[in-house]
Structure 1
């Protein structure tokens, strides 16, 4: 018998000034309290409406985790690769990498960027980057339900993306008053982030509105579970994130995630000594395009 998932926690992240200047607004969709959000470390909703040609951003390091980027609007990237609206990318920072995110012209951009934990056995994985453009994302359009699966499997669709940490990431649009059910592993920590409209969730019919984050209850085994969803009067568009917890504790400092403070210090030392390669210089075998 399938478990019926319920909405157990609702959060409404507030808009805050971003680090890219006065034209940058950010919302911390996931932040802090890793024991509750495992395997998700943080998720930022970055909204940029840049009105001049002054460069912002730049090169910076990461290590010990993966960055997972879903570009909702605009363009972002570097000389090696440019992401466009609807594109998806996972960068495995692993043992340490440098990458560049620079915007040097007037631009409108909205980006969801997730940090997802690498378990202890994969913490120092060989860095790699995987790109899945919008046109190659598995897609379902059926009876008022529109789903794009970027990672994992959902609604009979499976993404080609390779994951160290099992996870499902999908863009879901449901037309007004349509009800659907999604199957998600019961032991995956799961949340929805509403980008537009509203949705009623579960048998107890709790509502979730634009810019709200809804966390589901979670089972203890790999049984199937069902998530019942009914779109509101304007329909709904949301991003779905579900991941299998690693069960680890982590140490976070700046751009690095580690198992100890000593590891953090080692990452900083390696970066200062120039031992971390730029992601654009890794071998082609570590650059996967689907």
Structure 2
């Protein structure tokens, strides 16, 4: 399957791009880098941040969340999910977990046995009207996401609809997530809702993005232009050309919320008073028992 671009729909360009800086952290954590660094949530709206972590068991033990969602992609190692509603499972490379923290999540994310878990975790904001929704989790295993052959590669669709298929991830706000693998010289036009803010992360390889031919190599991040007045039902296009025999990209997009954002610790709310209330509720036991 190949996809040709059309000049009558919005053409994505690269707005900004950078490479992730990594630092060693205290054991049992090992290394961390900010794919989407904290503090730029208005630029990234609806995304708050994205961290790339290498860690062993004990790094992310029992902890609370409120007011946002997470999308965790396992790059390597095994990740054990534990929540205080009785959920427990192990995710392996290529698997994705979606969590709607809603009003009160309490969970743990652990490396398995002696594994070093290597993950990407994206924090995705919730609009004010959904911050008190029920907590939920969904595991999307690599084999459950439909994989579509394209000229010179494949695209795996975890969320949203593109390349003629719909991903299994069921977010309570509109998002897309696709993994694109391309061989050297392959060109592909990826479609996204024109009103979605979007970014690209290079897991491996070397690509050129958009008509500007901005180069992006492994550990590179690019944010994309979008039509702020656009329609969710209309597609936009991102042109991608691989200059490496093993290029692998993740492309994320979401509809901006355009609300006040107050991220603090493990909570993302609209005001500091709501943050203080979240801490009071946690101390008062309203988040339930520990996740063990």
TM-score (norm 1): 0.90
| Paired residues of 2:260 and 2:271 also in contact (CA < 8 A) | no
CA deviation after TM superposition for structure 1 residue 104, in Å: 6.2
Unaligned runs of 5+ residues in structure 2 are: 1-7, 83-87
Q: Which residue of 1 aligns with 2:74?
A: 71
| Paired residues of 1:55 and 1:104 also in contact (CA < 8 A) | no
Q: Which residue of 2 aligns with 1:226?
A: 237
Q: Which residue of 1 aligns with 2:41?
A: 34
Matching of residue 276 in structure 1 with residue 287 in structure 2:
yes
Structure 1 pair 166–261 and aligned structure 2 pair: CA distance change class (3 A): same
Q: Which residue of 2 aligns with 1:267?
A: 278
| Paired residues of 2:75 and 2:120 also in contact (CA < 8 A) | yes
Q: Which residue of 1 aligns with 2:173?
A: 165
Tell me how far apart the structure 2 counterparts of residues 236 and 65 of structure 1 sit (CA, whole Å).
31
Runs of 4+ in 1 over 6 A off after TM superposition: none
CA deviation after TM superposition for structure 1 residue 69, in Å: 0.7
| Paired residues of 1:148 and 1:171 also in contact (CA < 8 A) | yes
Structure 1 pair 227–280 and aligned structure 2 pair: CA distance change class (3 A): same
1:171-223 Cα offsets, whole Å, 9 max, x none, are 11111100111111111111101111110111121211111101111112023
Q: Which residue of 2 aligns with 1:288?
A: none
Q: Which residue of 1 aligns with 2:5?
A: none
Comparing 137-146 with 101-110, which one deviates more in the overlay?
101-110
| Paired residues of 1:41 and 1:116 also in contact (CA < 8 A) | yes
| Paired residues of 1:199 and 1:235 also in contact (CA < 8 A) | no
CA deviation after TM superposition for structure 1 residue 272, in Å: 1.1
Tell me how far apart the structure 1 counterparts of residues 290 and 58 of structure 2 sit (CA, whole Å).
20
CA deviation after TM superposition for structure 1 residue 103, in Å: 3.2
CA deviation after TM superposition for structure 1 residue 148, in Å: 1.2
SS in 1 for 2:184: coil
Q: Which residue of 1 aligns with 2:106?
A: 98
1:142-183 Cα offsets, whole Å, 9 max, x none, are 322211111111211211222222111111111110011111
| Paired residues of 2:192 and 2:235 also in contact (CA < 8 A) | yes
Aligned CA RMSD, in angstroms, stands at 1.9
Tell me how far apart the structure 2 counterparts of residues 116 and 56 of structure 1 sit (CA, whole Å).
21
Structure 1 pair 216–266 and aligned structure 2 pair: CA distance change class (3 A): same
| Paired residues of 1:12 and 1:211 also in contact (CA < 8 A) | yes
Question: How many aligned residue pairs are there?
Answer: 276
| Paired residues of 2:207 and 2:244 also in contact (CA < 8 A) | no
Tell me how far apart the structure 1 counterparts of residues 282 and 27 of structure 2 sit (CA, whole Å).
23
Comparing 272-281 with 33-42, which one deviates more in the overlay?
272-281
Matching of residue 239 in structure 1 with residue 250 in structure 2:
yes
| Paired residues of 1:180 and 1:228 also in contact (CA < 8 A) | yes
